[in-house]
Amino acid sequence: MTRTRTPLIAGNCKMNGLVAASMGLAAELAARATDAARAGSLKAEILLCPPATLLAEVGRLVAGSPIVTGGQDCHAETAGAFTGDISAEMLADIGCRYAIVGHSERRSLHGESDADVLAKASAALRAGLGAIVCVGETAAERDGGEALAVVERQVRGSVPSTSDAVVVAYEPIWAIGTGRTASPADIGEVHSHLRAVLKDHLGPKGNEVRILYGGSVKAGNAAAILATADVDGALVGGASLKADDFWGIVTAL
Ligand code: PGA
């Protein structure tokens, strides 16, 4: 398959990982990615999003390897009285390259609206980060035939229309952490719709935006998912916590 966009394989560790395990994972992945790059076989950009407590330390460890780091969220403001929050500028300051925004766990557990996600994505871009904007329908919405309308509404409401430094992650909520993945046909249908919406929303730049799939991606199903048209990589949760599992996805490209 000829690709026009460099695939991105992103690991979202969520609230998992104490120092020893996270640093061991990052070291192992950095070593494998460095070897693959030297051998000319690395086909993807690789992103690790460890817990915020370890972002700086993981960033120092992977510096000089092909792996980059990103935050799992960011605040919309630059600085201020926002206890517990982290700004996009703070992420950029410690060498992060991306921020995930609007993950369904943030949307549902922290009540984030499309407008909130748009503000966070704009903040990430302002700080010079790539914004990975997550969208995805619930099981009830899919069963009701609303999946395409839901993700379109989320893209129009939460993707800044001013920059192509965005990545969109399609993550059907019913597939996250459940072991159920959308079929390649369903993924292809949503991604091709998202591509059309992004071209309408961003103009020709919409063709440059990478669209990742997320939701129970594993080494065993990654090849079929990544070979689907308009799938430009994966956002990986559970399988990003073990080097063999994550690397199996990177090498499925
Ligand atoms: P999962 O999570 O791979 O564990 O399903 C994906 C995500 O939430 O980004």
Instruction: Residue 158: count other Cβ atoms within 10 Å of its Cβ.
Output: 27
pLDDT at residue 123 greater than cutoff 80:
yes
For residues 218, 220, 221, 226, the Cα torsion angle rounded to the nearest 10 degrees is 80
With a 6 Å cutoff on the Cβ, whether 49 touches ligand 1 is no
pLDDT digits (tens, 9 = 90+) for 20-75: 999 999 999 999 999 999 999 999 999 999 999 999 999 999 999 999 999 999 99
**Cβ-contact 46, 68 below 8 angstroms:** yes
Cβ of residue 176 lying under 6 Å from some atom of ligand 1: yes
Please give the average per-residue pLDDT across 234-249, as a whole number. 98
Give the CA distances from residue 49 to residues 4, 148, 229, in Å, rounded to whole numbers and listed in that order: 25, 28, 26
Confidence of residue 208 (pLDDT cuts 50, 70, 90): very high
Q: Evaluate if residue 145 carries a pLDDT over 80.
A: yes
- Per-residue pLDDT tens digits for 125-135: 999 999 999 99
Q: Report residue 194's pLDDT band, with 50, 70 and 90 as the boundaries.
A: very high
Residue 1, pLDDT > 80, answer no
- Are 51 and 91 contacting, i.e. CB atoms less than 8 angstroms apart? no
CA 80 to ligand 1 centroid distance, Å:
31
CA 7 to chain centre: 11
The pLDDT confidence band at residue 164, using thresholds 50, 70 and 90, is: confident
110 counts as catalytic: no
Across the chain, what does the average pLDDT equal?
A: 97
Query: Contact 176/217 with Cβ under 8 angstroms?
Result: no
For every residue of the chain, which 3-state class applies, written as one string? CCCCCCCEEEEECCCCCCHHHHHHHHHHHHHHHHHHHHHCCCCCEEEEECCHHHHHHHHHHHCCCCEEEEECCCECCCCCCCCCCCEHHHHHHCCCCEEEECCHHHHHHCCCCHHHHHHHHHHHHHCCCEEEEEECCCHHHHHCCCHHHHHHHHHHHHCCCCCCCEEEEECCHHHCCCCCCCCHHHHHHHHHHHHHHHHHHHHHHHHCCEEEEECCCCHHHHHHHHCCCCCCEEEECHHHCCHHHHHHHHCCC
Nearest CA residue ID for atom 1, ligand 1: 237
pLDDT(2) > 90? no
Protein residue with its CA nearest to atom 3 in ligand 1: 237
Atom 6 of ligand 1: nearest residue by CA position: 237
Which residues, listed in sequence order, are joined to residue 236 by a DSSP beta bridge?
11
State mean pLDDT over 197-219: 96
Quick one: pLDDT band at residue 163, thresholds 50, 70, 90?
A: confident
Type of residue found at 5: R
Range 71-87 average pLDDT: 98
The one catalytic residue in 45, 75, 89, 103 is 103
Q: Atom 2 in ligand 1: which residue has the minimum CA distance?
A: 237
The pLDDT tens digits of the residues spanning 86-118 come to: 999 999 999 999 999 999 999 999 999 999 999
| 206: Cα within 13 Å, side-chain hemisphere | 19
Mutate to test the pocket of ligand 1, among 134, 135, 167, 216 (most ligand atoms within 8 A of CB): 216
* Atom of ligand 1 at shortest range from CA of 216: 5
Q: What is the dihedral of CA 104, 106, 109, 114, to 10 degrees?
A: -80
User: pLDDT > 70: what percent of the chain?
Assistant: 100
**CB 4: neighbour CB atoms within 10 A?**
7
Cβ neighbour number for residue 63 with a 10 Å cutoff? 12
226 CA → ligand 1 middle, Å: 15
pLDDT at 162 over 90: no
Confirm whether 141 is a catalytic residue. no
